[in-house]
């Protein structure tokens, strides 16, 4: 038998009504979410279509990837360590060190961005560029992206030699941090046109990559964080200036901004290079030591040429001393009247000229084409010195014989030239 309870039935009806209202509210919320999702998906689709339309083909990122990988393969093929190359090895190939970079080797600011210190360093950087590069290249189009990468790399290198001028550094990290900085700058500058989900995905990927590079930068001495932060700042600043809404209608303005930034940024980088303090890197002996170490760390095929050069220098140094002493001795006698001018001239032409001429034969067996540039330059200076000394005694002997003051003055000029060449040789 069922007993009807009005109060209990009312409670049941109330609960049922609440349940229906909850379901209706949930349905409405779901409809709102579905609409928001549809709008976001539509924004993403339109954004992606706009990107593909304004940048249908990518070539800068693949070219940079290929250049960095090719450079590393060539380095390893010529004997550089695959996993842990030395500082001298990477310096030889173009890494940056303020002692060299701030004293004439300005080109290291650029070459350092394509040199990597081991396979892990290369893989981390190339993976980072592979993830970030295509998106940023499409956002800024190839010319704008090249400008960002170029100037971020320069900015990172300049920051590196400013902050740690005596540390050897290399890698594309500064430029890659600039690419991420550009992504952040675009998101900040064009937040109204960039779909939220797209920005979140790129941001998360970028933060992961930044974290990997940060840990690597702390664990590898030659990868300094100043270069990373310098590149990041440059990339962000450029994006704040160059960012435009996605679409072909902005291509012309985007191109003009990229060209202006490229030329002005490069000019500014040149100015910064010359303004950087050089107190910490002004030691000429340290420059010489590093340059010599770089040259002598060359491959085995050059070692025999270097040994031949050094042996020739030792033999020539002895001969140079003998000829110089003989010249000084007879000149002193001639000045005191113990030797007649004609006897002095005859000695010069018959003894000194042939001996100086033969002195260059000491270097005939040196394979100059196998010498590193450091030794090639020194060899060229020595040969010029020998020729200047030969010309000096020749013109002096002929001038005395013919009583020709002009020829004697020419002989003096040759002697001064030989002194200058010898000074250059010692400074190399």
- Residues labelled catalytic: 173, 228
CA 307 to chain centre: 31
- Residue 214, judged by CB atoms within 10 A of its CB (0-12, 13-18, 19+), counts as middle
Q: Hey, what are 217's tokens?
A: 């930068």
d(CA 195, CA 190): 10
DSSP bridge pairs for 169:
96
No. of helices (H) and no. of strands (E), the chain: 16, 0
Instruction: For residue 87, give the nearest of 76, 75, 95, 77 by alpha carbon.
Output: 95
DSSP state of 246: S
Q: Hey, what are 18's tokens?
A: 């609440």
Q: Hey, what are 240's tokens?
A: 């704040």
Q: Hey, what are 6's tokens?
A: 């009005």
Alpha helices in 55-169, H assignment, sequence order? 60-77, 87-93, 98-101, 108-111, 119-163
Per-residue b/e over 376-412, b at no fewer than 16 CB within 10 Å? bebbebbebbbbbbbbbbbbbbbbbbeeeeebbebbe
Q: Hey, what are 350's tokens?
A: 């018959």
CB 110 within 8 A of CB 154: yes
Q: What DSSP line would sit under 256-319, residue for residue?
A: HHHHHHHHHHHHHHHHHHHHS--GGG--HHHHHHHHHHHHHT--HHHHHHHHHHHHHHHHHHHH
Q: What DSSP line would sit under 28-67, residue for residue?
A: HHHHHHHHHHHHHHHHHHHHHHHHHHH-----HHHHHHHH
Q: How far is CA 2 from each of CA 5, 8, rounded to the nearest angstrom?
A: 9, 13
Instruction: For residue 272, give the nearest of 363, 376, 154 by alpha carbon.
Output: 154
Instruction: For residue 152, give the nearest of 115, 122, 182, 196 by alpha carbon.
Output: 182
């Amino acid at each position: 038998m069922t007993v009807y309870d009005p109060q209990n039935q009312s409670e049941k009806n109330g609960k049922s009504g609440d349940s229906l209202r909850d379901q209706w509210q949930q349905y409405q919320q779901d409809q709102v979410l579905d609409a928001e999702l549809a709008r976001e998906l539509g924004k993403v689709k339109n954004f992606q279509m706009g990107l593909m339309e304004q940048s249908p083909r990518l070539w800068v990122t693949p070219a940079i990837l290929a250049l960095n990988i090719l450079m590393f393969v060539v380095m390893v093929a010529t004997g550089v360590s695959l996993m842990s190359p030395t500082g001298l090895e990477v310096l030889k190939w173009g890494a940056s060190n303020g002692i060299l970079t701030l004293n004439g080797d300005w080109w290291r600011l650029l070459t350092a961005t394509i040199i990597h210190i081991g396979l892990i360093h290369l893989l981390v950087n190339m993976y980072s560029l592979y993830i970030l590069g295509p998106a940023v290249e499409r956002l800024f189009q190839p010319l704008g992206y090249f400008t960002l990468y170029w100037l971020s790399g320069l900015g990172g290198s300049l920051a590196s030699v400013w902050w740690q001028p005596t540390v050897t550094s290399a890698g594309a990290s500064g430029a890659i941090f600039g690419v991420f900085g550009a992504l952040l700058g675009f998101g900040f500058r064009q937040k109204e046109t960039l779909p939220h989900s797209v920005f979140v995905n790129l941001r998360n990927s970028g933060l992961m990559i930044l974290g990997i590079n940060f840990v690597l930068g702390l664990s590898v001495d030659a990868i300094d964080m100043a270069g990373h932060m310098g590149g990041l700042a440059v990339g962000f600043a450029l994006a704040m200036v160059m960012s435009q809404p996605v679409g072909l209608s902005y291509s012309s303005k985007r191109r003009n901004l990229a060209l202006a930034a490229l030329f002005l940024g490069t000019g500014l980088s040149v100015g910064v290079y010359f303004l950087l303090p050089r107190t910490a890197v002004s030691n000429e002996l340290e420059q010489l030591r590093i340059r010599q170490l770089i040259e002598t760390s060359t491959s085995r095929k050059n070692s025999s040429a270097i040994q031949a050069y050094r042996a020739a220098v030792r033999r020539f140094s002895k001969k140079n001393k003998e000829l110089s002493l003989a010249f000084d001795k007879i000149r002193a006698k001639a000045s005191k009247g113990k030797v007649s001018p004609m006897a002095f001239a005859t000695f010069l032409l018959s003894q000194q000229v042939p001996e100086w001429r033969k002195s260059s034969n000491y270097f005939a067996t040196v394979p100059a084409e196998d010498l590193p540039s450091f030794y090639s330059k020194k060899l060229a200076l020595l040969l010029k010195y020998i020729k200047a000394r030969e010309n000096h005694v020749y013109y002096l002997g002929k001038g005395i014989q013919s009583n020709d003051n002009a020829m004697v003055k020419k002989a003096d000029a040759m002697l001064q030239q030989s002194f200058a060449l010898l000074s250059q040789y010692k400074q190399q």
